[in-house]
């Protein structure tokens, strides 16, 4: 049979196009390059396994093709009539594959896998501890030895998320404040969850563990190469599940020490911000940023919320939800006659600090500093058409905080 010319050209063009696009996007089908001993072990086991099954596949397929060809009908091949090994030779031939598969499974692959699984759980002799707390939908990192703690949230701009701007390279994989680790040091990660199950997963580290509410779980990493490593929450945890990436920057120990110093300076600045008196414009300015980062995922950038789930922040808009949710809002003075209304400042502060228990409205007491909370409340009371003119100063937040939730910043 001869191929028609147009067909050959079309096929050639298709292959060429495929090749060109692959070359451009630098696709690769493999694990991310491993940067911890555990990830290296896992990759080794994976590669070994792949090599072995490829060899077995080729061997078995070779035998199959050989038999198909050699025992074909035109050569008058007769189908075998036996259904079980009959001779000693056949018994041996049957047992060799079984025994060799068991050897591969339990010895060649089993021993290294068992060792790696044990290694993952061995958190002894760590030098640094980082407490990682997952919540809907951000990560919180604390370094108890240095008195540093902060929230890390998605920094991909909303216009990219809604398709109004070109997606950049690290679309949905960029945060405002990455986790920072020193290289070549065993770091213990204590994993917690503040609400539902989340999953801590950074592929280049090889480890992946669920953060389960009510449990404290431990894993460790020893990053051997400086760089930025990206991962994601790996347990479906609500509508913002795709919006809580994990970004880790690994620094040499000198770089890490410098980072610690700069974090301390930042915390001092936050402290200063909490102590001074702000102008209304400055509060609203800062409040908008705090809102976009911490509240807009639920209450929406427009402040109109999502019917049935997240109430509007814009007052005068209707909100229907379960009677229990509405009762909470009514008791706080934020709901009347089917509509969201502006409740008292005191309750507004209470809602943002302590959340509304039993609903998705989170407590921000341990996540935001006093200046951030004061400014977001001032913003909410003066934006989206809520022209209340109210000003809330950081000092009011400082006094409203219960002692137990004093933010160290
Ligand atoms: C995870 C989703 C979520 C996030 C994030 C969130 N809220 Fe809420 N918020 C809710 C829900 C749900 C309610 C209603 C609870 C109820 O009905 O009792 C609520 C209610 C409120 C209310 C009272 C009702 C209203 O609409 O005025 C205020 C004020 C409020 N949130 C402010 C904030 C602020 C400020 C932030 C950010 C610092 C924030 N929320 C972040 C889910 C969220
Ligand atoms: Cu999650």
Q: Is the peptide bond before 137 cis (omega within 30 degrees of 0)?
A: yes
Mark whether 42 and 97 lie in a shared domain: yes
In short, whether 314's Cβ falls inside 6 Å of ligand 1 is no
Q: How many domains does the chain have?
A: 3
In short, whether 312's Cβ falls inside 6 Å of ligand 1 is yes
Q: Does a structural domain hold residue 21? A: no
Q: Which residues surround ligand 2, an ion (CB under 5 A)?
A: 198, 233, 237
How far is the C-alpha of 117 from the C-alpha of 122, rounded, in Å? 9
Among the candidates 121, 145, 178, a domain finishes at: 121
Mark whether 392 and 343 lie in a shared domain: yes
Q: Does a structural domain hold residue 375? A: yes
pLDDT single digits (tens) 25-79:
566 788 889 999 999 999 999 999 999 999 999 999 999 999 999 999 898 888 8
pLDDT higher than threshold 60 for residue 7? yes
pLDDT single digits (tens) 52-63:
999 999 999 999
Mark whether 115 and 57 lie in a shared domain: yes
pLDDT single digits (tens) 308-338:
899 999 999 999 988 988 999 999 999 999 9
Mark whether 353 and 375 lie in a shared domain: yes
Mark whether 245 and 151 lie in a shared domain: yes
User: Is the pTM higher than 0.75?
Assistant: no
Mark whether 92 and 137 lie in a shared domain: no
Mark whether 325 and 371 lie in a shared domain: yes
Q: Whose CA is nearest to atom 21 of ligand 1?
A: 361
Q: Does a structural domain hold residue 12? A: no
Mark whether 184 and 282 lie in a shared domain: no
312: Cβ contacts below 8 Å, ≥ 6 apart = 299, 303, 304, 305, 319, 340, 384
Are 211 and 232 in contact, with CB atoms under 8 Å apart? no
CA-360 nearest atom, ligand 1: 12
Distance 383 CA to ligand 1 centre (A): 15
Q: Does a structural domain hold residue 10? A: no
Number of neighbouring beta carbons within 10 Å of residue 148: 19
Q: Does a structural domain hold residue 8? A: no
- CATH code for position 255: 2.60.40.420
- CATH code for position 358: 1.10.760.10
H helix intervals, 26-156: 37-70, 88-103, 110-121
Residue-wise burial string across 52-61, b where 16 or more C-beta atoms lie within 10 A, e elsewhere: eeeeeeeeee
The mean predicted confidence, pLDDT, of the chain is 89
Mark whether 398 and 361 lie in a shared domain: yes
Mark whether 183 and 66 lie in a shared domain: no
At residue 211, the 3 state secondary structure works out as strand
Q: Report which of 205, 204, 203, 190 is spatially closest to residue 134, judged by C-alpha positions.
A: 190
- At residue 385, the pLDDT reads 92
In short, whether 295's Cβ falls inside 6 Å of ligand 1 is yes
Confidence of residue 2 (pLDDT cuts 50, 70, 90): low
């Amino acid at each position: 049979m001869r191929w028609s010319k147009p067909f050959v050209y079309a096929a050639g063009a298709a292959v060429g196009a495929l090749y060109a696009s692959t070359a451009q996007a630098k696709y690769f089908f493999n694990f991310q390059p491993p940067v911890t001993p555990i990830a290296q072990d896992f990759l080794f086991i994976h590669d070994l396994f792949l090599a072995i099954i490829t060899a077995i596949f080729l061997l078995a397929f070779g035998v199959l093709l050989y038999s198909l060809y050699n025992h074909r009908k035109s050569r008058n091949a007769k189908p075998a009539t036996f259904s079980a090994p009959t001779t000693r030779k056949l018994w041996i031939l049957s047992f060799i594959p079984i025994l060799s598969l068991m050897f591969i499974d339990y010895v060649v692959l089993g021993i290294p896998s068992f060792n790696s699984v044990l290694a993952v759980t061995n958190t002894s002799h760590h030098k640094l501890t980082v407490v990682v707390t997952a919540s809907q939908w951000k990560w919180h990192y604390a370094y108890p030895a240095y008195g540093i703690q902060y929230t890390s949230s998605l920094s991909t701009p909303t216009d990219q998320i809604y398709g109004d701007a070109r997606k950049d390279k690290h679309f949905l994989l960029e945060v405002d404040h990455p986790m920072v680790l020193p290289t070549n040091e065993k770091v213990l990660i204590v994993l917690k969850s503040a609400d539902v199950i989340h999953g801590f997963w950074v592929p280049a580290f090889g480890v992946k563990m669920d953060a389960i509410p009510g449990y404290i779980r431990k894993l460790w990493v020893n990053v051997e190469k400086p760089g930025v490593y990206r991962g994601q929450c790996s347990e479906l945890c609500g509508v913002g599940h795709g919006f809580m990436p994990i970004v880790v920057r690994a620094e040499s120990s000198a770089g890490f020490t410098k980072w610690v110093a700069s974090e301390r300076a930042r915390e001092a600045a936050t402290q200063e911000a909490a102590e001074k008196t702000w102008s209304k414009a400055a509060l609203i300015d800062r409040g908008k940023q705090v809102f976009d980062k911490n509240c807009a995922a639920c209450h929406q950038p427009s402040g109109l919320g999502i019917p049935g789930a997240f109430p509007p922040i814009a007052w005068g808009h209707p909100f229907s939800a379960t009677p229990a949710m509405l009762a909470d809002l009514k008791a706080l003075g934020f709901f009347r006659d089917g509509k969201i209304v502006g409740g008292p400042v005191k309750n507004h502060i209470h809602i943002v600090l302590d959340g509304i228990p039993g609903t998705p409205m989170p407590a921000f007491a341990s996540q935001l500093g006093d200046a951030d909370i004061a400014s977001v409340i001032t913003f909410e009371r003066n934006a989206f058409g809520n022209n209340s003119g109210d000003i809330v100063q950081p000092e009011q937040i400082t006094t409203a905080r219960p002692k137990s939730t004093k933010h160290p910043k």
